Amino acid sequence: MHFGFGMEIEAVAVDIDGTLTDKRRSLNCKAVEALRKLKIPVVLATGNISCFARTAAKLIGVSDIVICENGGVVRFEYDGEDIILGNKEKCYRALKALEKKFDIVLLDDSYRKAEICLRRTFRKEDAEEILENYGVKIIDSGFAYHIIDENVSKGKALRFIAERIGVDVKSFVAIGDSENDIELFEVAGIGVAVANAHLKLKEVADVVTSKPDGEGVVEALEFLGLI
Amino acid sequence: MHFGFGMEIEAVAVDIDGTLTDKRRSLNCKAVEALRKLKIPVVLATGNISCFARTAAKLIGVSDIVICENGGVVRFEYDGEDIILGNKEKCYRALKALEKKFDIVLLDDSYRKAEICLRRTFRKEDAEEILENYGVKIIDSGFAYHIIDENVSKGKALRFIAERIGVDVKSFVAIGDSENDIELFEVAGIGVAVANAHLKLKEVADVVTSKPDGEGVVEALEFLGLI
Listed by number, the residues of chain A in 127-146 with a beta carbon closer than 8 Å to a beta carbon of chain B are: none
CB-neighbour burial class of residue A28 (10 A; exposed 0-12, middle 13-18, buried 19+): buried
Residues B158 and B71 in one domain: yes
Query: DSSP code of B116?
Result: E
All residues of chain B having their beta carbon less than 8 Å from the beta carbon of residue A33 are 29
Residues A57 and A169 in one domain: yes
Is B111's CB within 8 Å of A61's CB? Answer: no
pLDDT band for position B2 (cuts 50, 70, 90): very low
Structural contact between residues A216 and A202, judged by C-beta atoms closer than 8 angstroms: no
Write the CATH number for B169: 3.40.50.1000
- The answer, yes or no, to whether residue A139 has pLDDT greater than 60, is yes
First to last CA, chain A: 11
Domain boundary among B121, B149, B177: B149
pLDDT at A119: 95
Is B56's CB within 8 Å of A51's CB? Answer: no
Query: Tens digit of pLDDT for each residue in A2-21?
Result: 455 667 899 999 999 999 99
pTM of the model: 0.94
pLDDT at A142: 78
Residues A187 and A157 in one domain: yes
Residues B73 and B112 in one domain: no
Listed by number, the residues of chain A in 24-43 with a beta carbon closer than 8 Å to a beta carbon of chain B are: 24-27, 29, 32-33, 36
Backbone angles phi, psi at B41, to 5 degrees: -65, 140
Residues A140 and A161 in one domain: no
Write the CATH number for B123: 3.90.1070.10
Query: Tens digit of pLDDT for each residue in A49-62?
Result: 999 999 999 999 99
In sequence order, what are the residues at sequence separation of 6 or more whose Cβ sits closer than 8 angstroms to the Cβ of residue B83?
Answer: B73, B74, B75, B76, B160
Query: Tens digit of pLDDT for each residue in A76-89?
Result: 999 899 999 999 99
Mean pLDDT of A117-141: 93
Residues B59 and B168 in one domain: yes
Q: Which domain holds residue B110?
A: 88-149
All residues of chain B having their beta carbon less than 8 Å from the beta carbon of residue A32 are 27, 29
pLDDT band for position A1 (cuts 50, 70, 90): very low
All residues of chain A having their beta carbon less than 8 Å from the beta carbon of residue B59 are 21, 25-27, 55-56, 59-60
- The answer, yes or no, to whether residue B76 has pLDDT greater than 50, is yes
- The answer, yes or no, to whether residue B127 has pLDDT greater than 80, is yes
What is d(CA B16, CA B56) in angstroms, rounded to the nearest whole number? 8
Domain boundary among A121, A149, A177: A149
Domain boundary among B128, B149, B170: B149
Query: Tens digit of pLDDT for each residue in B153-204?
Result: 999 999 999 999 999 999 999 999 999 999 999 999 999 999 999 999 999 9
pLDDT band for position B6 (cuts 50, 70, 90): low
Backbone angles phi, psi at A70, to 5 degrees: 60, 25
Nearest 10 degrees: CA dihedral of A124, A179, A22, A146? -50
Specify the number of domains making up chain B: 2
B60 to chain A: closest CA residue: A26
- The answer, yes or no, to whether residue B222 has pLDDT greater than 80, is yes
Sign, Cα dihedral of A226, B35, B196, B23: positive
Structural contact between residues A218 and A31, judged by C-beta atoms closer than 8 angstroms: yes
- The answer, yes or no, to whether residue B143 has pLDDT greater than 90, is no
In sequence order, what are the residues at sequence separation of 6 or more whose Cβ sits closer than 8 angstroms to the Cβ of residue A83?
Answer: A73, A74, A75, A76, A160
- B181 counts as catalytic: no
pLDDT at A196: 96
Listed by number, the residues of chain B in 177-196 with a beta carbon closer than 8 Å to a beta carbon of chain A are: none
Model-level ipTM above the cut of 0.90: yes
pLDDT at A115: 96
CA B164 to chain centre: 18
Structural contact between residues B227 and B219, judged by C-beta atoms closer than 8 angstroms: no
Residues A215 and A183 in one domain: yes
Residues B74 and B110 in one domain: no
Is A27's CB within 8 Å of B111's CB? Answer: no
Residues A139 and A46 in one domain: no
Q: What is the mean pLDDT of chain A?
A: 94
What is d(CA A84, CA A148) in angstroms, rounded to the nearest whole number? 12
Concatenate the DSSP letters of all residues of chain A into one string: -EETTTEE--EEEEE-TTTTB-TT--B-HHHHHHHHH-SS-EEEE-SS-HHHHHHHHHHHTS-S-EEEGGGTEEESSTTS--EE-S-HHHHHHHHHHHHTTS---B-STTT-SSEEEE---S-HHHHHHHTTTTTEEEEE-SS-EEEEETT--HHHHHHHHHHHHT--GGGEEEEE-SGGGHHHHHHSSEEEE-TTS-HHHHHH-SEE-SS-HHHHHHHHHHHTT--
What percentage of chain B reaches a pLDDT higher than 70? Answer: 97
Mean pLDDT of B49-75: 97
Residues B78 and B187 in one domain: yes
Is residue B191 classed as helix, strand or coil in its secondary structure?
strand
Residues B176 and B107 in one domain: no
Residues B124 and B169 in one domain: no
What percentage of chain A reaches a pLDDT higher than 90? Answer: 91
